[in-house]
Amino acid sequence: MKLHMRILLTGAAGAIGIKLTGYLGKIGHQVIPVDFKPHEGTIRADLRDQTTVSCLFKAHNPDLVVHLAALKNLRFCEQDKEASRATNYGITKLLTRACLESKTRMIFFSSDYVFGKYDHLWKEEDTPCPTTQYGMDKAASEFLIRKQLSNYAIVRTAQLYGFPGDFVSLVCKALTSHQDFTAFTNLVNCPTWINDLFAMLNKIILHDSQGIFHCVGSEAVSRYQYACKIAEAFALDSSYIKAVNLDFLTDIRPPVVRLSGASTYNHLQFYTGSLKDNLPLCSSYAIQGN
């Protein structure tokens, strides 16, 4: 196991990708950042093209592929299923083939939305039951990787926070401006601090861990509960938070998706902090940035 690897990172120009590029570089890896959209220091490439993918592997000979790239707009994915499939499954298919041919390890970022058909505390070994096109494409990608590769890790995560523009920022911006903030009482998942996600990813890389991992926060909360916890963390007036029910006749998101991280925590010997502990650590961008 190399301590310092060449890591091909897809989706490197997104908010998570930019932070992950910095994190991986800081701990000693050589990052090859790739994205379709332009960003300083990032290789612009259309990974839906097989020749492009092959050329990237030949030019950079990565030790590891961290596949973060995805088309995440759920409504758009439903409206244009072909575009969703081409990006969220098609790119994974080409990268999987390249990893198989070059015997390169892959870490695939998946989603809690591979579940959602009904309320259940989902474990890593549970059979996916997605309700959206995005979730179906992620589940299909997982199945392909598990079938084709022997050296892989699948990282399911949810509702990331810890960067400008996240849910924490939106709540703080509204409350510090004394504006109402609408939050859903019936939309539930597990908010995950990005630093905890990266720490778990680092352990997966260092220990060459194989399989499926639930790298999520330990608390399943509604958006309304989440917003109230944010207000409490920063001593903001929660009376501006207005509780409403989401109409699932018009909204495609699954109402409750709870992932159990217990097995992953034990395997990695890493235990996520609580929202109460982690939220105050977001003040540098959530409060000072507003």
Q: What is the DSSP letter of 256?
A: B
Q: For residue 248, what pLDDT is reported?
A: 93
Q: Yes or no: say if 114 and 128 are a contact pair by the CB < 8 Å rule.
A: yes
Q: What is the pTM of this model?
A: 0.96
Q: For residue 60, what pLDDT is reported?
A: 98
Q: For residue 289, what pLDDT is reported?
A: 63
Q: For residue 260, what pLDDT is reported?
A: 98
CB burial of 24-46 (b: ≥16 within 10 Å; e: otherwise) equals beeeebebbbbbbeeeeebbeee
The count of other CB atoms within 10 Å of the CB of residue 82 is 9
Q: For residue 1, what pLDDT is reported?
A: 63
Q: For residue 288, what pLDDT is reported?
A: 67
Fold (topology level) of 6-160+193-217+257-272: Rossmann fold (3.40.50)
19 vs 225: CA distance, rounded Å: 27
Q: For residue 290, what pLDDT is reported?
A: 61
183 vs 124: CA distance, rounded Å: 29
Q: What is the DSSP letter of 234?
A: T
Q: For residue 139, what pLDDT is reported?
A: 99
Q: For residue 287, what pLDDT is reported?
A: 86
Q: Yes or no: say if 242 and 165 are a contact pair by the CB < 8 Å rule.
A: no
| Alpha-helix residue ranges (DSSP H) falling in the chain | 15-26, 50-60, 74-79, 81-84, 91-102, 133-148, 167-176, 194-206, 223-233, 262-268, 275-278, 283-286
- Average pLDDT per block of 10 residues along the chain, 290 residues long: 89 97 97 95 97 98 98 97 98 99 98 96 98 98 98 99 97 98 98 98 97 98 99 98 96 97 98 97 83
